[in-house]
């Protein structure tokens, strides 16, 4: 897959994409053969990120995905999930901790 080739070749540190892109990368049969160790952070937007996909990608690539939300009027990101919060199964697609 071209994205994995570019991450390896250019030593990409930050990857941004929509959930379907993360799914496509995760489902490349031999994705382990690519050196993606330079990835330090990933961001997703455009659609809710399924928790199973997020966890699978983060585990496979050792890179946390932060979900963003935005509008064209906010140029384009209005908010991101907090990087130290973990995804809650009760709040699919959200890294916000459950309210107590």
The string of pLDDT tens digits covering residues 17-43 is 999 999 999 999 999 999 999 999 999
Phi then psi for residue 69, to 5 deg, are -135, 135
pLDDT score of 90: 44
Domain boundaries, the chain: 2-83
Phi then psi for residue 51, to 5 deg, are -60, -40
Tell me the CATH number for domain 2-83: 3.40.50.980
Q: Is the pLDDT of residue 66 over 60?
A: yes
Contact 38, 6 (CB under 8 A): no
Report pLDDT digits (tens) over 68-83. 877 777 766 666 676 7
d(CA 26, CA 20): 10
Give the largest Cα separation in the chain, rounded: 45
pTM equals: 0.77
């Amino acid at each position: 897959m071209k994205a994995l080739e570019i991450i390896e070749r250019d030593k990409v540190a930050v990857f941004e994409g929509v959930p379907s892109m993360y799914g496509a990368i995760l489902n490349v049969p031999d994705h382990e053969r690519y050196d993606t160790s330079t990835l330090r952070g990933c961001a997703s937007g455009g659609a809710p990120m399924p928790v199973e996909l997020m966890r699978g990608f983060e585990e496979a690539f050792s890179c946390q995905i932060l979900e963003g939300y935005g509008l064209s009027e906010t140029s384009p990101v209005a908010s991101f999930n907090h990087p130290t919060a973990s995804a809650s199964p009760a709040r699919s697609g959200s890294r916000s901790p459950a309210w107590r």
